[in-house]
């Protein structure tokens, strides 16, 4: 019986040598399982990058040739630099540029493919609906493969959940790979028409956002060698209170003290949501920040509160020097010394 392998791998952006090594390893595993084909995510060699140089593209092409050479006795579908490559019998069979959805025949079975390389979305509902509709239009099973892990494209950091799936001709999910997990999932091609539809969990989009955010933060911190992190969340309530009081004519120092107290209250709310209502810490912070948008507008009275001409902490210490930069430095030094003494 012919088998097909879904390679849901963790891709390192900008490190084609590591990605190619992993791809070759997965190909070897698929060959051991006598698979007819193995499918990798888009950009599986290069990773998701904001921009690429000619030398980088040249390096990626070299690694793509190694992968193509490894396609003896197996069909390999993988992502190069903004293109999908299909290799078989040690040769490049097809090159698809700017195209991640296509149809191909594997061991006599007509299949539709979506080779994805997009990060987590809002519950991934649009992605799911697109794949389901594509399977119905193509009138054949659809193989969807995406990457897992965290990728830094040089401008932003993106979490990838994977959620590789197989859809039947009716658009129903009949096979799913565990999200946020690197895995080689193998399915019998002859059984695709007989696999029952899976019941997908009915959950709000915020649940998927929380998992993606939690996973992304954990993976990114691990990449840069940080084991623990403390995030202070005020939701901007301290700035809103300080601005409102300064605009009302308050002296800067009392206004700052009251603003600090307001920030402490927002932290207490977050803590109560976590400890008393058993809401996960990360989600508690998100809920508090969302709620504070409305509170901030109420405190300030409008979206923007101009402070031009208002007496501030820096104008209070204007006697130190006529140079504004010197005043800012002096006030900042005092703040640092006070915080250091308190800690």
Separation of alpha carbons 319 and 165, rounded Å: 68
pLDDT score for 216: 84
Assess contact for 280 and 274: CB atoms under 8 A.
yes
User: What's the DSSP call for residue 21?
Assistant: H
pLDDT score for 50: 66
Separation of alpha carbons 89 and 196, rounded Å: 33
Q: Are strands 165-167 and 142-145 parallel, antiparallel or unpaired?
A: antiparallel
The length of the chain is 343
pLDDT score for 310: 83
Q: Are strands 183-188 and 3-8 parallel, antiparallel or unpaired?
A: antiparallel
Strand partners, 111: 104
Widest CA span of the chain, in angstroms? 86
Element (DSSP H or E) covering residue 76: strand 75-79
Separation of alpha carbons 131 and 141, rounded Å: 10
pLDDT tens digits, residue range 98-155?
777 888 888 888 899 998 878 876 656 788 888 999 999 989 999 999 999 998 877 7
User: What's the DSSP call for residue 190?
Assistant: G
pLDDT tens digits, residue range 235-258?
688 889 999 999 888 988 899 889
Instruction: Count CA atoms within 13 Å of residue 228 on its CB side.
Output: 1
What are phi and psi for residue 237, nearest 5 degrees?
-65, -35
In the predicted model, residues of the chain with pLDDT beneath 50 are none
Q: Which spans in the chain are helix H? A: 16-32, 54-69, 125-138, 205-223, 237-247, 252-275, 281-300, 313-316, 324-342
Dihedral angle at the C-alpha atoms of 243, 244, 247, 251, nearest 10 degrees?
Answer: -80
Assess contact for 70 and 108: CB atoms under 8 A.
no
pLDDT score for 40: 95
User: Nearest-CA neighbor of 4 among 160, 170, 166, 193?
Assistant: 166
Alpha-carbon Rg for the chain, nearest whole angstrom, is: 27
Assess contact for 215 and 194: CB atoms under 8 A.
no
Separation of alpha carbons 237 and 205, rounded Å: 26
Q: In a 3-state reduction of DSSP, which class is residue 88?
A: strand
């Amino acid at each position: 019986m012919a088998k097909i392998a879904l390679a849901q791998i963790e891709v390192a952006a900008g490190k084609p040598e590591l990605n190619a090594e992993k791809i070759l390893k997965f190909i070897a595993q698929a060959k051991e399982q006598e698979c007819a084909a193995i499918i990798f995510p888009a950009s599986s060699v290069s990773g998701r990058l904001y921009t690429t140089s000619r030398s980088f593209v040249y390096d990626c092409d070299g690694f793509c040739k190694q992968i193509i050479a490894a396609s003896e006795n197996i069909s390999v579908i993988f992502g190069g630099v903004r293109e999908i490559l299909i290799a078989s019998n040690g040769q490049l069979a097809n090159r698809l540029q700017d195209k991640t959805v296509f149809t191909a025949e594997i061991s006599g079975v007509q299949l539709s493919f979506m080779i994805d390389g997009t990060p987590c979305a809002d519950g991934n509902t649009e992605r799911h609906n697109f794949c389901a509709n594509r399977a119905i239009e193509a009138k054949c099973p659809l193989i969807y493969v995406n990457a897992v892990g965290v990728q830094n494209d040089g401008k932003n950091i993106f979490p990838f959940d994977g959620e590789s799936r197989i859809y039947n001709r009716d658009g129903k999910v009949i096979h799913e790979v565990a999200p946020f997990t690197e895995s080689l999932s193998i399915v019998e091609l002859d059984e695709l028409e007989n696999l029952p539809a899976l019941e997908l969990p009915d959950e709000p989009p915020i649940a998927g956002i929380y998992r993606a955010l939690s996973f992304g933060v954990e993976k990114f911190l691990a990449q840069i060698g940080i084991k623990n992190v403390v995030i202070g969340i005020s939701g901007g309530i301290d700035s809103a209170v300080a601005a409102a009081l300064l605009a009302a004519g308050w002296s800067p120092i009392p206004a700052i003290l009251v603003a600090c107290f307001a920030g402490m209250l927002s932290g207490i709310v977050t803590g109560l949501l976590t400890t008393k209502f058993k809401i996960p810490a990360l989600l508690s912070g998100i809920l508090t920040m969302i709620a504070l948008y409305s509170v901030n507008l109420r405190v300030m009275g409008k979206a923007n509160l101009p402070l031009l001409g208002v007496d501030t902490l820096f104008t209070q210490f204007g006697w130190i020097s006529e140079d504004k930069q010197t005043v800012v430095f002096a006030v900042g030094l005092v703040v640092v010394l006070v915080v250091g003494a308190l800690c």
